[in-house]
Amino acid sequence: MPERRNFPPTVKRAKRLRREMTEAEKKLWFRIRLGQLGGRHFRRQVSIGDYAVDFACLKEKLVIEVDGGQHAWRKEEDEARTRYLEARGYRMIRFWNNEIFENMDGVLHVIARAVGAPL
């Protein structure tokens, strides 16, 4: 299934989300931006079809989602998003906010392994 990029409503939402990143997203972004993770290029709040994903390494087709408490009752929506992205060849990794705050080294290790990057 072809990927629709730059779907106007999603792009607008992604721009807003870039300005309104959560503390957990900011903390992770600080550690993966600018090729700091094995030279891999990550983007934040990327528009992919109808969705704006938290982070993506487009070259590796890896999506990273940082989930807060609101995701506990949005399980069906999150599963639909995952199916949509996987159907387009993306791999999805999800982290809870507390994982970012309490185990950043572990989070970075999982991401580095997913993109084949040394830590």
**CATH classification of the domain holding 47:** 3.40.960.10
Structural domain includes residue 1: no
Residue with tokens 């503390």: 23
Structural domain includes residue 43: yes
Structural domain includes residue 109: yes
Domain count for the chain = 1
d(CA 24, CA 104): 10
| pTM for the predicted model, two decimal places | 0.81
Residue 13 burial class via C-beta count within 10 angstroms: exposed 0-12, middle 13-18, buried 19 and up: middle
Tell me whether strands 91-96 and 43-48 are parallel, antiparallel or unpaired.
unpaired
pLDDT by 10s per residue, the chain, length 119: 445 555 566 666 656 666 678 899 999 999 999 888 989 999 998 888 888 899 999 999 999 999 886 545 678 888 899 999 999 999 999 999 999 999 999 999 999 999 998 76
Domain that includes residue 68, residue range: 8-114
Structural domain includes residue 119: no
Residue 67 phi/psi, 5-degree rounding, is: -105, 135
